[in-house]
Structure 1
Amino acid sequence: MSALIYKQRFFHPNRPKTAVSNYVHIGYIATRPGAVRHENLPHGLFGKMQPGSIDVFQSWQEVARIARDISKQGKNMYRSVISLRTETAMELGLNDFEAWQQYIEQHIATLAAHNRIKTENLCWAAAFHNEKDHPHLHIVFWDKEQTIMKNFTHPEIPNRIRKQLIKDTFAFKIKEFCAERDLAKTGITNITDAILEQFEAHMKSLNPQSFRALRQRFEHADEDSLLRLPKHNLTNSQSVEQLASHLLQLRHALPKNGRLAYQLLTPEAKSLVDEFVQDLLQQNPYLAEMVETYVKAKLEVAKLYTSDPAALTQQSIKYQAEAEKRIANRILSTVRTIIQLEQSSDVAIRQVERYRTWTEQLILELLSVMEQLSMQAQLDYDDKAKVVFGGEWSKQAKKEWLLRQKDKGVDR
């Protein structure tokens, strides 16, 4: 078991969805629950697009757009994560956002060197997730001057990076350990891999249970799966219990037979589902935030077509309704599953504990759906804005296009 875990991968630039996937990935690491955010900003992304001091990016989208563009150019964007146990991080002084920023600034050169990226060509962005029992840092990086596309990274490369990070991060502790074990001579300067293995075994022996938990969380997962955060960060046990009770009431109020689709429900049934949707949004702030992000992104597209306040207000209401309808249909899908399980069982499934489980799963699925929708809406805006305000259009052509669209409405 390692004293420090390092993971690294990339999606091949020729893969059809790589560019969009990289865009979404940056949005995830910057905004997911657990990500420590900048003061007065809705994200926690920082890094460097050129040599110099660390930048606090004003929006994660500006970095995500760059990542998407470099992917389309055939350059590899590496995704990586560095994780420590909470106790180890505290011992190293990595106990706040600023400390982790300084840490990666000191060690990013190691990631670059082992991936054969020159420092002057290195671009990177990172986000710190202060998770319970496993604080970790997500980093994306690439070579802005890369000319040859890479198809494969040998597993030994991230392994070498991990070892070098441990040697540099724990240098003082390793030398202390060596002195105690009489493995070091006075003035030792070289920490070998053999000493490193002994040090890691020593670290593990101090708290084997804690290291086992860290291994289960990180060692057999890639950096994308780490974004599927523990349930305690996405749901609140008290609110889940209340929502489970509400779900039980809803299940008994809805018809047992027939297709359960929102548009086919009676007005009374729709009203009950709408109440549950509002209850969900009130009980889970992150879900409400994702809906708000979705509506705002869609409105940015609408603003490309009109500046009429009344029209924009109307569109805002429409987009909010669209998001809530998606949530409603996902709720009905869960209810349909419950009914099917009850019909296939000799005993009706009414246990509160099972409803808690279904409710928790429903919330997690809704969060995933709304995250994808909000990111896609932002991408949609980026693409349309580039057509209107970028590209090779003249100013007069852009003006004429906007004038033509103004009278056509904003639902595109």
Structure 2
Amino acid sequence: MPRLILKCPYLKSGTEKVAAHLSNLITYMATRSGVEKLSKGNSNLPSTVNQEELIKQIIKEFPGSKNLFEYEDYIENKTIENASEFITISLEQNLDKIGQRKNYVDYIANRPRVERMGPHGLFTGGDDEIVLSRIAEEVANHTGNVWIPIISLRREDSISTGYDIAESWHNMLSYFAPEIAASMKIPIQNFRWYAAFHNESHHPHVHMVCYSVNHADGYLTKKGIEKMKSGLVKNIFKNEMQIIYAEQTQRRDQLKEESKGVFVKLISEMKSDAVQNPKIEELLLHLSERLKHTKGKKVYGYLQPNLKVIVDEIADELSKEEKVAEAYELWYEMREEVLHSYMDTLPERLLLSQQKEFKSIKNMIIAEADKIAKGIVDLEKLDNAEAERFNDNLIETDEIEIMESSSAFEYEPIVDELEDEPDFENHYVFVKWTDEYKQARDYLFGTDDILQDFEKALKLFITEAERGNVLATFDIGRIYADGLGVEKNPDKANNHYVKALAGFQEVESIKAWKYTEYRIGKMFATGLGTEKNYQKAAQWFDLSADKKYKYAQYSLGALYHRGQGVEQDFQTAFALYLKSAKQGFPYADYEVAKMYRDGVGTDKDEMKSNQHFQKAFRGLEHLEKTSHDDKIQYRLGWMLQNGIGTEIDIARAKEYFEKSAKMGNTFSGYALAKLILKEENPSKEEVQKAIKFLKSVAEDDCNDFNSIRPLASYALGKIYLEGKCVAKDINQAVLFLMKSAKENNQWASYQLGKLFLQGNEITKDTDKAVFYLTKAAEQGNQFAQYILGKMYLLGKDVLRDKELAIKWLTKSAEQGNEYAKFFLDNLDKLSQPSFLFSKWFRI
């Protein structure tokens, strides 16, 4: 677990002794060198009696020194070296208390191992040269308080994070200085700071001097110190903390889910008179009775204090339930890991009711109590809310799977990389990256020096194709397929793809060549210029892969991974991906990373997975700089959006998506549209652009977009249904949801089923509702299965059919649907109309 130690003493001004001490302190921090070091032969000997006596005195006078890394080292191994390290750093970290002692100035003036950044080791923000004598005088004569923070790391942490050199500290502290100023309550324009890095053997540390030019400024509290320390941890250990925060979020969500599950179970127990926790039942009914006479918003923040006490008590009783208690323990473990990174002493654990992060649990309790107060437990409303949450999560998951496996990621290698190019003399067709072809590609994709110009690109491709260059023929097909500067024309595109495939095969007949074998395989795999045929694709890829061609190894690995044209074999897929990755193909690194992550075809290995993801990202960045390929731009954008192999950077992701979308990349356009529509306050122009693109995909019946079209249609349906970014339009919503449902999007069918069943915004139509809900249910949608099961069980809107009810409720319950489980557990009671109106509940 990452950890640093921060001490932040301060020196008061106003005496000659302190002024002299401050002057010496600046000189010490900048120039401490020359002290004779312990010889290696003596350093591991047991600590001396004098050292041990001095350490006892230090601990007595400064008990906080027990929290230092050096004290931990000394206790673990009481050697001369460890004792010396502890004595030195403990005196340094308490210099606010001993600064005026007689020999201290002599002691600090000769301290060794400062890392110099010029004539001395002192630095501040920016690159201006520091005149040591001037700064020493300025600090010594300062009339206000001077803070002297000391930041210490373990040696292994300083090396792993790169903070074992002064330059890293200089860069980070320059960036972090405004937060230090804010913690000290000093306006940034008045804030001054200087620092020096001391490269100690076990625990490198930084000394700082901080003050305000206005002597009246500055006030550092315990909370301010914690804020500084927390910020330093986040900056220095950003990669480690990102993983911890993600895990903490996951555990928080798990606790919320477990709490909700227990409540659903409790409600069902109350219905069946089989309550296992009478205390919660008693409190919940008491709260519900009180809420009957409560006006205003019924959420925790608006309740009277006496009602909040009841809610808190229910939350704390809930936290004693086994599953909730386990989830709370797991969450707290991760929280304390974070706290321990910047706090010496962990605070006492709080009850669940006192944790601000879990206010939603208390609001859930209030909502349930309010429903009881009204005589209603509305399972319909509860399961709708659950379905929406699940829906959004699943759609995101589906999109990730589509994007990860999508041919939108594919990249055509440059033939210049090959060494065994055939001799094309006297042949009317050839495959060659001629200067003319390269220029056409430059106009197609755009470069740093050449503006993108589809018209010029097409003219050059046509000229080159007429000379017999098969590569140009293929790219003309792509231009007409994607409508790059021309109207989309699938027939023209196909004609050129057919010619390109024939050309590649002709070149292959001249000489068996791994590049043409690979390109022919790709065309069979994607169905360009021919019927899609994975078996033939695998045969061609196999020929090329045998010649150790990394692109063919990767593509053949993909077929084995998906079981297309060959028998699915994850181990073979992994081996092929790995061979390709070792030759430097970043796409293969990406797949290797996924397989290590998921434990598919190999053992799970998170560290190797992260390494390959990072290598893939770096490799793709390099490829994009040279090729400006839209497929690479799309994958880079997607990785930046999702934090795969790099940190999340939405702004950069959008830039890559924009570039790629200009090349007609449908996946990039879709991703860009989704990002825009997720923004809190997107501009009208951005929203119009996003919706225009989604419509262009949803309404284009000419091209097969490999599952993007139904997703685009569904996104439009939801937009018009919710009316968030555009005026609500139920007719448009239904139109696009029907288009999506027609292409087997289960969530579109589910939404349509609910709309026709409820009859709130469109005319109720039970037949259509059952049709769409059944379609979604057959595709595995647990919420459609649940609604159908409930309808057939209760005979609501359809004839009662217990057999059908059990069928759909069972399928839903098998996917973890708590509401379906409740109905299955109470089949006999729920089949009796009298049960529908109990003392407290209505279903």
Q: Which structure exhibits the higher relative contact order, with contacts defined as CA atoms closer than 8 Å and separated by 6 or more residues? A: 1
Considering fraction of residues, name the structure with more helix. 2
**Range into which the TM-score falls when normalised by the shorter chain:** 0.3 to 0.5
Q: TM-score, normalised by structure 1?
A: 0.41
Q: TM-score, normalised by structure 2?
A: 0.21
